[in-house]
Amino acid sequence: MKNIIYDCDPGHDDAMALFEALAHPEEINILGISTVGGNQKLENVTKNAQHILSAAHSKIELASGQSQPLVKEFYPATNAHGDSGMDGHDFPAEDANYPISSLNAVTFLHKKIQSADDLVTIVATGPLTNIALLLKTFPEVKDSIDKIIIMGGGLDHGNITKGAEFNIWTDPEAAKIVFTSGIPMVMAGLDVTERAYFTEDELQELDKKGPISAIAYDLLSYYYKSGKQFGFKNSPVHDLCAMAYLIDPTLFTGHIYSVDVVTDDSEARGMTIADKRKLPENKNSTLVLLEVDRERYRDLFFQAIEKLDQEN
């Protein structure tokens, strides 16, 4: 059983990652879910988390975290995810009744990690603001964290700028704190996530299959169309890579590097840079995922959605 906390900014692809985690209760013990401002403002991404958890009839505790990056101005990814942050499906208004912890996510995550019966893996698929503040505010928590698996960054290219990926670009200072914390990291960056897509024909398999399939079909169809503006033929489901790695690391191959984040005000701000030199002092603590077995990645997700359909 893997104890995890999931920090996210739903987000069409965050939603798919959450569905996949919820479909594996026999191996993933989700201690708590936290939200962070990113794809949309905090209020919206938290509401979207309530939608997904309500649809899956989950009882997992939810907390909302930081609305703003540590230093930078906040710019949501409205063009990619729409005004709600998860456009494309009409959810019931009563989802707003899904309980939200009275604790801020940083305190909530500290409490959950410290009370866990074993080491905890952090999965994070939004800007790393909550995680950076957790490590800075409660440094002792590092001893209870097994690793941090993120969707973020990219060694070869960016998406929000030529060189920077959105999650890291949104809060580079937070990302630097996390990457240099000494905690083992797994980075599912654009190098691998842009290979982790579903085709239009594959998406059609979700249509009219069940209640969770219907939501996944609507959201992924929206995200698929939205991806066209960025030149994607098939829209990558970025965040799903982080959760799929947790469930089955054999889907991926990669290389361990020492990765740092650019935090200056140059046009390189938010870039993730791997030091590939063989310097003895290099703390090679980040496994950068580079390849994915796309068919097995697809099958893992579709099987998860089918399982949730049967349970809901």
Of 19, 91, 98, 166, the one binding ligand RIB by CB under 6 A: 166
Q: Does the footprint of ligand RIB cover residue 77 (CB under 6 A)?
A: yes
Q: How far is CA 129 from CA 7, 113, 148, 177, in A?
A: 10, 17, 14, 9
Pairing of strands 286-292, 252-261: antiparallel
Residues 125-164 within binding reach of Ca ion (CB under 5 A): 125-126
Q: Does the footprint of ligand RIB cover residue 151 (CB under 6 A)?
A: yes
Query: What strands, in cross-sheet order, belong to the sheet with 2-8?
Result: 62-64, 28-35, 2-8, 120-124, 145-151, 185-188, 286-292, 252-261, 272-275
Q: Does the footprint of ligand RIB cover residue 9 (CB under 6 A)?
A: yes
Lay out the site mask for ligand RIB across 110-149 (x = CB under 6 A, - = otherwise).
Answer: ---------------xx-----------------------
Smallest gap from Cβ 118 to ligand RIB, in A, equals 27
Smallest gap from Cβ 293 to Ca ion, in A, equals 22
DSSP bridge pairs for 236? 197
Q: CB count, 10 Å around CB of 253?
A: 13
Measured from the CB atom, is 35 or 159 closer to ligand RIB? 159
Q: Does the footprint of ligand RIB cover residue 270 (CB under 6 A)?
A: no
Q: Does the footprint of ligand RIB cover residue 13 (CB under 6 A)?
A: yes
Q: Does the footprint of ligand RIB cover residue 194 (CB under 6 A)?
A: no
Q: Does the footprint of Ca ion cover residue 171 (CB under 5 A)?
A: no
Name the catalytic one among 51, 57, 238, 255: 238
Active site residue 110: no
Distance, CA of 16 to CA of 49 (rounded, Å): 11
Q: What is the DSSP string of 164-191?
A: --HHHHH-HHHHHHHHTSSS-EEEE-HH
Lay out the site mask for ligand RIB across 32-61 (x = CB under 6 A, - = otherwise).
Answer: ------xx----------------------
Catalytic residues: 238
Residues lying near ligand RIB in the complex (CB under 6 A): 9, 11, 13-14, 38-39, 77, 125-126, 151, 159, 165-167, 238-239
